[in-house]
Copies of this chain bind each other. A is one copy, B any other.
């Protein structure tokens, strides 16, 4: 079993996709994360779902649960408005990191090791162009004994 056998089409966003639209794609398609592609359609980053929330949470609430607790329920319900017209570019972590990207020949073990190491619930499959992705669930479905 190789990445080529498991790859499925996967939605992508670009650096200029509005953050709110990225959050919507994530939620509507029930995705574990988003593949961010560059101008050539190649993976630039894989953004875990939790990090899409990061920009929506006001900076004074990021690290201080006590301050977050002071925000009343009505204001807390509409916190995603904080995303405003920000883009996916601003959601990305500042440091470069190992990308969860594999060639079509990658084995199940190679994909699993990469998911574990990068803590990414999906790997992008690239053969020059982006072919799609293999999710953790798709991989587990195939490798778990019946």
Contact = CB atoms under 8 A, between A and B. Distances in A.
A130 interface: no
A26 B140 contact: yes
Contact of A53 (B30, B32, B78, B115): B115
A117 to B, nearest CB: 7
Contacts of A113: 57, 61-62, 65, 68
Which bracket fits the contact residues of A?
Answer: 35 or more
Contact of A137 (B27, B48, B79, B80): B27
B119 A119 contact: yes
A41 to B, nearest CB: 24
Given A79-B108, A109-B71, A141 B65 contact: no
